[in-house]
Amino acid sequence: MSAIDHRLQGIIHYQQQTYFAQDVLPEEEVQLKVTGKRKAQLLKVLQADPRRIKPACQYYGQCGGCQGQILSFDEQLNLKAPEVKRLIEQLSGYEQLMPPQLFYGQDWRYRRVTRLATWFDHRRGWQLGFRQSQSKQLVQIDSCLVLQESLNALIPPLQGLLNAFSKSAKLGHVELYDCLPQPAVRLRLTSALTAKQRQLCTQFANEQQVSFFVSDLKSEQYLVGSDCYYQLGELAIHFTPGDFIQVNPLLNEQMVQLAQQWLALKGEDRLLDLYSGVGNFTLPLAKQVRSVVAIEGIERMSEQLRVNAKLNQLNNIKALSGDLDDPKTLAGICETIDKVLLDPARSGAQTALESVAKAGVKAVLYIACDPATMARDLAIAHKYGYKIQRWALINMFSQTSHVETVVLLSAD
């Protein structure tokens, strides 16, 4: 065993072959089973890395999440940092980067959003839980240590609700949101609720004091409640269950503050916010600049951003919907912009960053939940002569293999 990658997978070199295996740390002697061309499975730890600790979660090794909990809270990010640095240097063309700033939050009870899978077992009925590692099979759970307590407390009664559904129910997944004015449940189905199912869900929502949102192939609606929002400073960010919102509220606030500081926003600045969602960055940053153009790929979320701007009395935001993988979407826009913020999905922002770089926008803040696609995209910025002024790793997803990466690019 010689190394670990940015996903906290062990890298094993054996007989001139390289394998990747979960749950394996550097400085360990292990027994493995080869399961694929470059994949291996840990069978036994013969000599443990001194940093290895006992996982706190009872479902560790079964559930496909929280792979990092064999390491202490601090050590997780300490091991990720040099590997993300190596990845960026390897793929982007930038060399000898300075070490990143590291931002930590809570080790447990931090997630305000989760998605639970459902599965019908012929002996036990409907099951609720998470997928097994590298499998479609489900691990039934009755609690989760990374969920905020308001969501964790909903798991047993939700299991009780599903127990009342028949085998023929067309259940998909269940999403939970810790939000205001009360927590929310989103039930995803592939057919409309029956009258009996609707009654069961309504009764559940009233008993648990939650909003209940139902989404099927034809419609979406609240059965109970009518609104969801979260607070970001003095701002109220409204959203519809199913919209993307950041899972870690404490570190999200720190990340927004970081964006404000690093972009050094001024009153005369014209800002472009790409992949803007419902306004997590748009709204607080709009308070510091002359104008913001916010572009999002999903029209419903762009419309929600317009509503959020009005509700928060911000009249300097232009919210648009467009395909940011199509260079025509940004045609003529980047030339009128002073600074840019990008927060794309895991697929990255190649086309959008190319348009921004071609226009020579002075300052670009790139926020990514996948350092591999970010590293690939940064090669574009490098080609156009941008410099990395500073960068950071944010432990947004504690106990997992994921990390949020923030890079400030300058054309100067």
Determine contact, residues 126/171, Cβ cutoff 8 Å.
yes
Instruction: State the pairing for strand pair 387-394/101-103.
Output: parallel
Give the pLDDT score at 59.
95
Low-confidence stretches of the chain (pLDDT beneath 50): none
Which residues have C-beta within 8 Å of that of residue 388, sequence separation ≥ 6? Answer: 94, 97, 378, 407, 408, 409
Please give, one letter per residue, the 3-state secondary structure of the chain: CCEECCCCCEEEEECCEEEEECCCCCCCEEEEEECCCCEEEEEEEEECCCCCCCCCCCCCCCECCCHHHHCCHHHHHHHHHHHHHHHHHHHHCCCCCCCCEEECCCCCCCECEEEEEEEEECCCEEEEEEEECCCCCEEECCCCCCECHHHHCCHHHHHHHHHCCCCCCCEEEEEEECCECCCEEEEEECCCCCHHHHHHHHHHHHHHCCEEEEECCCCEEEEECCCEEEEECCEEEEECECECCCCCHHHHHHHHHHHHHHCCCCCCCEEEEECCCCCCCHHHHHCCCCEEEEEECCHHHHHHHHHHHHHCCCCCEEEEECCCCCHHHHCCCHHHCCEEEECCCCCCCHHHHHHHHHHCCCEEEEEECCHHHHHHHHHHHHHCCCEEEEEEEECCCCCCCCCEEEEEEECC
Give the pLDDT score at 136.
76
Give the pLDDT score at 412.
77
Give the pLDDT score at 132.
86
Which residues have C-beta within 8 Å of that of residue 261, sequence separation ≥ 6? Answer: none
Q: Tell me which residues are annotated as active site.
A: 369
Residues 339-375: tens digit of each pLDDT? 999 999 999 999 999 999 999 999 999 999 999 999 9
Give the pLDDT score at 61.
86
pTM over 0.75: yes
Within 10 A of 131 (CB to CB), how many other CB atoms are there? Answer: 17
Give the pLDDT score at 407.
98
Give the pLDDT score at 2.
64
